[in-house]
Amino acid sequence: MAGADAQAGAGATPGDNGALPLPSAVGPHHVGISVADLDESIAWYERALGFKLEAVVGVPEDDGRVAMLEQHGFRVELFELPGAAPLPPARREPPSDLRTHGVKHLAYRVSDIEAWQERLRALGADIVWDVRVHEDVMVLFVRDNTGNLVELVEPVRKDPQS
């Protein structure tokens, strides 16, 4: 058995606990988000975060629609399905949302987070938390037009003198 265990770990990379080697690297491609109004959500993601619409198509085996938006190689896939349940109120607040399993929010790395906050406020975005420092990053939480949580993150600049 020890020989089989040793062979199973052969080719494993450091830190993978002896699992089979990865066939390729894993990197972000897109996130799927259910929204109440596809056209309004497309406009929100374009206006608020600068995404560009790639396509709108039907949802296979359903009456819904899906839009794919892109920015710098990352995509947001928005789904609109008739009769979809609205986002529960607890999912609209960062602390209470943590008490429900599932994806909590989508975070985007930015520079000059204060300028982003000013811009989003000027656009009338629903700001949940103003910029605050959490651990070693500055964070800003907003809600998209459906109430989904969106986080902007900027690493705290360290003083080279310290």
- pTM strictly above 0.85: no
Which among 121, 36, 126 has a CA at the least distance from the CA of 81? Answer: 36
The pLDDT of residue 96 is 93
Q: Which two tokens stand for residue 2?
A: 């020890």
What domains appear along the chain, each with residue ranges and CATH number?
A: 28-84 (3.10.180.10), 86-162 (3.10.180.10)
Q: Output 89-92 pairs: Cβ under 8 A, ≥24 positions apart.
A: 91/147, 91/149, 92/128, 92/143, 92/147, 92/149
Ranges of residues in the chain with a pLDDT under 70 are: 1-18, 159-162
The pLDDT of residue 91 is 92
